[in-house]
């Protein structure tokens, strides 16, 4: 009995610690609940880059992070998925059109020189080795001559040297500036330009302000090492998210209440105990969600609510077995103990299959499915602990003294049980036998 | 000392005597499901037994929150105008959304082929068409899946399903015996076919499509079904250990099924209570997912009591006859 009281206090302390964690740590909610956008980018191979290596992915991730930050929309995350994909999560925005235009652009700036004339009399351009990599920064500027918007660029040390050399060689000729493979302008070089500053004008048509702004943002964020395409998008508005949270809370509360009513109605006193165990179970699971932390999504919440069903199952298995043992003429303490022992293999084997399914879902699934598998697995693992430790301890404390033993407490009638019921055996060794010995 | 009450002469559920009744119910339930799946496999260009959603085929779904619900005529007008704007075959649905005060009252969902970054402006066109035809539409969610990603997701999901089946079978063969594992697998297919079949029927009747959450639902159902079947098998294993000499396997299986009956039914009830709460009060996005699980859990409970045990009793009976024939 002494050990059981110690265990009881351990359970109480664990529950209190978990409650403390729940109230002090913020819940990490998925984008489908708070609102926001998730984009998946896939790196595209090209004629020059035939294979996407981990190094390319690293620099792609870096460049995309810079760009996402340039959007200035708060706490964004960029993470690698598999060999060639990046997942970008942007909270609080649902209109992703700006983000989409911005993310997929390679932002390749190239300075080219003329090399002969093509069939139709147009100039053929040749790479010079001077690219966006040689930039220090870019700014939005306006041309002092006609007030047109221009991209004003500053080269780094090496870039400045290359640029000076190139302009020296091209005095009297045209030089071309390509952005993303598109010829932006081809000014005539009048003299060698030293000092590392230059301006890109919009050629004959001039630039729109927005075009200049985008180019500047992209140049500052850095070029992508490879092209990237958006292959998946998921955006949820904050109103829909809030609606989903509200509904999940209501559904969870109603589900839990219905289960508790059923358990008390059907199993009487043990049912009440299982309800308390269920509350402790929920507290522990929630605290674990916050410790890991598990990002809660709608599917994740569904997984948790389903795990409540499975947690109750363990209790049902035990109580059914206890009732059976009582009907078979066991004493109360024996019946409770063998109820736990006999039910354990069922609980263990059936939960193992759920864990196997969850592990496979987690390993192979995508975001939504992963969230579901993780919450369900945590739920099932905690339910084994709560059934075996919490429910058992409470049962022992309530019925272990042998004072509370009216058969109606178990939903049984007097004639259903036999004489042994009145015997009080509180020793575990004596309680080892069950129905089938 | 074996308990005198343990093996009774008659039971509420008799898996030997009423074998054919129980199997007939299963067959009657499964035939329309299988027919619907076959129908879709032959009529759909991708030969899938259910209608696949954009998760697997690629496409874009835009959802707009609106104040008032729209009439079917209005929906045709919207469809006509969208097609005029170069958006081919849009599927438009009006979803009413019971919600807390100040929330979204109605949702209009528009499904099109994949809108990527290259044809980004299409979204603006759709929003413009809706703004003309409804009061204050507000884009509340966008889901877009590229066609190649869709195929990959489908492949991965099927692989996950097969692996999960395999894992479960290996686990049961290891903890029980190979014939238990095969029968558990049969029960599991019974439930999976039922759920997939009902969604095939819903697909034919109402155009319901399945997404990656559906695969999750099937896997959960499978887990639950095996969970149920194992509880019965565990009892059979336990009873066998003590009673195999005195009683036939049919009697033992009957006793085991009836001993675990209350538990099977009560567990299903409690799980169904939580699922029904989710179905009626939870978010609209998880509705089909929850429905799939409700169907699966009902089928799973039935199959563990009336299908797996019937097959096991039958299997043991045949084996006993063979053993008798050999010893004679």
How far apart, in whole angstroms, are the C-alpha atoms of residue A211 and residue A401?
82
ipTM summary value: 0.83
- The model's pLDDT over A144-197, given as tens digits with 9 standing for 90+, comes to 777 788 888 888 888 888 888 888 888 888 888 887 777 777 888 878 888 888
Q: Is residue A119 part of a domain?
A: yes
Q: Is residue A82 part of a domain?
A: yes
B164 touches chain A (CB under 8 A): yes
**What's the total number of domains in chain A?**
3
φ, ψ dihedrals at B300, nearest 5°: -65, -40
The predicted structure's pLDDT at residue A356: 86
Number of A:B CB contacts under 8 A?
Answer: 256
CB < 8 Å from A in window 103-122 of B: 103-104, 116-117, 120
Q: How far is CA B258 from the centre of its chain?
A: 26
Q: The whole model's pTM is what?
A: 0.80
B245 touches chain A (CB under 8 A): no
Q: Is residue A70 part of a domain?
A: yes
Residues of A in contact with B149 (CB under 8 A): 40, 42, 231-232
The predicted structure's pLDDT at residue A436: 32
Find the mean pLDDT for residues A246-257.
87
Cβ–Cβ gap A256/B234 under 8 Å: no
- Mark whether A65 and A113 lie in a shared domain: no
The predicted structure's pLDDT at residue A435: 32
Give the residue, B23 or B74, on which the prediction is more confident: B23
How far apart, in whole angstroms, are the C-alpha atoms of residue A103 and residue A234?
15
Q: Are residues A299 and A273 in contact, defined by beta-carbon separation less than 8 angstroms?
A: no
User: In this structure, how many other beta carbons lie within 10 angstroms of the beta carbon of residue A82?
Assistant: 11
Edge-to-edge, what's the strand order for the sheet holding B138-145? A77-81, A85-91, A36-44, A227-236, B138-145, B59-66, B106-112, B91-96
- Mark whether A377 and A307 lie in a shared domain: yes
Judged on CB neighbours under 10 Å (0-12, 13-18, 19+), A191 is exposed
B270 touches chain A (CB under 8 A): yes
Query: Which secondary-structure segment (H or E) carries A166?
Result: helix A157-169
Q: Is residue A329 part of a domain?
A: yes
B247 touches chain A (CB under 8 A): no
Q: Is residue A382 part of a domain?
A: yes
- Mark whether A159 and A209 lie in a shared domain: yes
* pLDDT, chain B, mean: 85
The predicted structure's pLDDT at residue B9: 67
How far does B229 lie from chain A, in Å, by closest CA?
A: 8
- The model's pLDDT over A321-363, given as tens digits with 9 standing for 90+, comes to 888 888 887 888 888 888 888 888 888 887 888 888 888 888 8
Q: Is residue A437 part of a domain?
A: no
The predicted structure's pLDDT at residue B190: 94
How far apart, in whole angstroms, are the C-alpha atoms of residue B81 and residue B75?
10
User: Where does the pLDDT of residue A434 fall: very low under 50, low under 70, confident under 90, or very high at 90 and above?
Assistant: very low
Of A342, A355, A284, A356, which Cα lies nearest the Cα of A314?
A: A342
Does the pLDDT value for residue B201 go beyond 90?
Answer: yes
- Mark whether A42 and A23 lie in a shared domain: no
The predicted structure's pLDDT at residue A284: 94
User: Where does the pLDDT of residue A16 fall: very low under 50, low under 70, confident under 90, or very high at 90 and above?
Assistant: very high
Task: Locate B169 and state its tokens.
Answer: 């079978």
Give the CATH number, domain containing residue A402.
Answer: 1.20.1640.10
Q: Is residue A243 part of a domain?
A: yes
Does the pLDDT value for residue A106 go beyond 80?
Answer: no
How far apart, in whole angstroms, are the C-alpha atoms of residue B326 and residue B328?
5
Give the CATH number, domain containing residue A65.
Answer: 3.30.70.3400
Query: Of the candidates A192, A220, A248, which is a domain's last residue?
Result: A220
User: Where does the pLDDT of residue B49 fall: very low under 50, low under 70, confident under 90, or very high at 90 and above?
Assistant: very high
Does the pLDDT value for residue B6 go beyond 70?
Answer: no
Of A84, A419, A307, which Cα lies nearest the Cα of B224?
A: A307
For A273-422, strand residue ranges (E) read none
- Mark whether A7 and A52 lie in a shared domain: no
Domain that holds residue A215: 109-220
b/e map A14-43, b = 16+ CB within 10 Å: bbeebeebbeeeeeebbbbbbbbbbbbbbb
How far does B217 lie from chain A, in Å, by closest CA?
A: 10
The predicted structure's pLDDT at residue B198: 95
CB < 8 Å from B in window 137-156 of A: none
The predicted structure's pLDDT at residue A429: 46
The predicted structure's pLDDT at residue B243: 83
The predicted structure's pLDDT at residue A421: 60
Of A208, A62, A227, which Cα lies nearest the Cα of A142?
A: A208
- Mark whether A40 and A26 lie in a shared domain: no
- Mark whether A288 and A392 lie in a shared domain: yes
How far apart, in whole angstroms, are the C-alpha atoms of residue A414 and residue A407?
6
User: 3-state DSSP call for residue A179?
Assistant: strand
Cβ–Cβ gap A231/B226 under 8 Å: no
The proportion of chain A whose per-residue pLDDT surpasses 70, expressed as a percent, equals 91
- Mark whether A257 and A163 lie in a shared domain: no
- Mark whether A99 and A114 lie in a shared domain: no
Residues of A in contact with B278 (CB under 8 A): 251, 255, 302, 305
- Mark whether A326 and A344 lie in a shared domain: yes
User: Where does the pLDDT of residue A206 fall: very low under 50, low under 70, confident under 90, or very high at 90 and above?
Assistant: confident
Residues of B in contact with A312 (CB under 8 A): 267, 270-271
- Mark whether A294 and A424 lie in a shared domain: yes
- The model's pLDDT over A367-377, given as tens digits with 9 standing for 90+, comes to 677 888 889 89
Domains of chain B: 19-51+149-320 (1.20.1640.10), 59-145 (3.30.70.3220)
The predicted structure's pLDDT at residue A141: 83
For A82-162, strand residue ranges (E) read 85-91, 109-117, 123-131, 135-142, 149-155
CA triple A436-B4-B5, angle to 5 deg = 90
The proportion of chain B whose per-residue pLDDT surpasses 70, expressed as a percent, equals 94
The predicted structure's pLDDT at residue B24: 94
Residues of B in contact with A436 (CB under 8 A): 2-3, 6, 238-239, 241-243
- Mark whether A329 and A404 lie in a shared domain: yes
Q: Are residues A359 and A377 in contact, defined by beta-carbon separation less than 8 angstroms?
A: yes
């Amino acid at each position: 009995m002494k050990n059981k009281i110690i265990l009881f206090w351990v359970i109480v302390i664990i529950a209190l610690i978990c409650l403390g964690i729940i109230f002090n740590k913020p819940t990490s909610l998925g984008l489908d609940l708070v609102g926001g956008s998730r984009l998946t980018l896939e790196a595209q191979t090209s004629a020059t880059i035939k294979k996407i290596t981990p190094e390319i992915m690293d620099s792609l991730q870096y460049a995309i992070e810079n760009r996402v930050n340039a959007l200035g929309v708060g706490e964004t995350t960029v993470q690698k998925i598999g060999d060639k994909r990046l997942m970008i999560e942007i909270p609080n925005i649902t209109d992703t059109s700006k983000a989409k235009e911005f993310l997929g652009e390679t932002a390749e700036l190239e300075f080219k020189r003329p090399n002969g004339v093509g069939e139709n009399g147009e100039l053929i351009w040749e790479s010079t080795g001077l690219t966006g990599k040689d930039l220090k920064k870019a700014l939005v500027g306006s041309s002092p001559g006609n007030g047109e918007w221009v991209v004003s660029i500053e080269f780094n040390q090496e870039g400045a040297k290359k640029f000076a050399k190139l302009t020296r060689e091209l005095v009297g000729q045209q030089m071309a500036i390509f952005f993303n493979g598109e010829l932006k302008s081809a000014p005539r070089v009048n003299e060698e330009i030293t000092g590392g500053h230059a301006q890109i004008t919009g050629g004959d048509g001039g630039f729109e302000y927005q075009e200049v702004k985008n180019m500047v943002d992209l140049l500052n964020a850095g070029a992508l090492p490879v092209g990237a395409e958006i292959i998946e998008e998921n955006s949820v508005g904050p109103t829909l998210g809030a609606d989903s949270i509200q509904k999940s809370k209501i559904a969870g509360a109603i589900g839990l209440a219905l289960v508790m009513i059923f358990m008390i109605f059907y199993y009487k006193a043990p049912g009440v105990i299982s309800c308390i165990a269920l509350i402790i179970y929920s507290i522990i699971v929630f605290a674990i969600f916050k410790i890991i932390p598990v990002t809660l999504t709608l599917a994740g919440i569904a997984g948790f609510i389903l795990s409540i069903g499975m947690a109750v199952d363990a209790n049902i298995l035990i109580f059914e077995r206890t009732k059976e043992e009582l009907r078979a003429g066991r004493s109360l303490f024996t019946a409770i103990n063998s109820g736990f022992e006999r039910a354990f293999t069922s609980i263990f084997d059936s939960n193992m299959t759920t864990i196997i399914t969850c592990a496979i879902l987690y390993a192979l699934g995508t975001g939504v499915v992963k969230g579901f598998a993780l919450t369900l697995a945590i739920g099932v693992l905690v339910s084994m602990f709560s059934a075996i430790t919490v429910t058992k301890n409470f049962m022992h404390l309530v019925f272990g003294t042998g004072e509370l033993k009216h058969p109606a407490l178990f939903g049984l009638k007097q004639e259903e049980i036999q004489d042994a019921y009145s015997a009080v055996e509180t020793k575990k060794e004596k309680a080892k036998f069950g129905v089938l010995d | 000392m074996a308990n005198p009450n343990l093996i009774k002469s008659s039971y509420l559920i008799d898996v030997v005597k009423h074998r054919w009744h129980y199997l007939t119910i299963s067959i009657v339930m499964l035939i329309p499901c299988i027919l619907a799946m076959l129908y879709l496999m032959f009529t759909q260009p991708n030969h899938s037994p259910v209608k696949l959603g954009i998760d697997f085929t690629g496409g874009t779904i835009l959802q707009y929150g609106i104040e008032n619900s729209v009439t079917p005529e209005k929906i045709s007008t919207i469809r006509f105008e969208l097609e005029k704007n170069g958006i081919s075959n849009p599927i438009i649905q009006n979803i009413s959304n019971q919600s807390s005060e100040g929330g979204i009252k109605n949702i209009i969902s528009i499904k099109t082929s994949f809108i990527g970054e290259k044809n980004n402006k299409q979204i603006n066109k759709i929003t413009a068409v809706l703004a003309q035809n409804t009061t204050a539409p507000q884009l509340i969610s966008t889901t877009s899946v590229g066609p190649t990603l869709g195929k990959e997701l489908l492949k991965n999901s099927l692989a996950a399903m097969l692996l999960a089946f395999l894992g479960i079978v290996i686990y049961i063969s290891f903890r029980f015996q190979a014939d238990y594992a095969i029968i558990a697998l049969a029960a599991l297919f019974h439930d999976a076919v039922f759920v997939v079949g009902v969604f095939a029927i819903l697909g034919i009747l109402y155009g319901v499509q399945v997404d990656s959450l559906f695969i999750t639902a099937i896997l959960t159902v499978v887990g639950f079904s095996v969970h149920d079947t194992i509880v019965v098998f565990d009892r059979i294993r336990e009873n066998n250990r003590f009673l195999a000499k005195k009683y036939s396997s049919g009697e033992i299986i009957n006793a085991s099924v009836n001993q675990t009956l209350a538990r099977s039914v009560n567990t299903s009830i409690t799980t169904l209570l939580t699922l029904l709460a989710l179905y009626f009060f939870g978010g609209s996005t998880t509705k089909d997912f929850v429905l799939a699980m409700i169907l699966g859990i009902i089928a799973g409970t039935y199959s563990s009591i009336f299908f797996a045990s019937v097959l096991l009793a039958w299997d043991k009976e045949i084996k006993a006859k063979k053993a008798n024939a050999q010893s004679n």
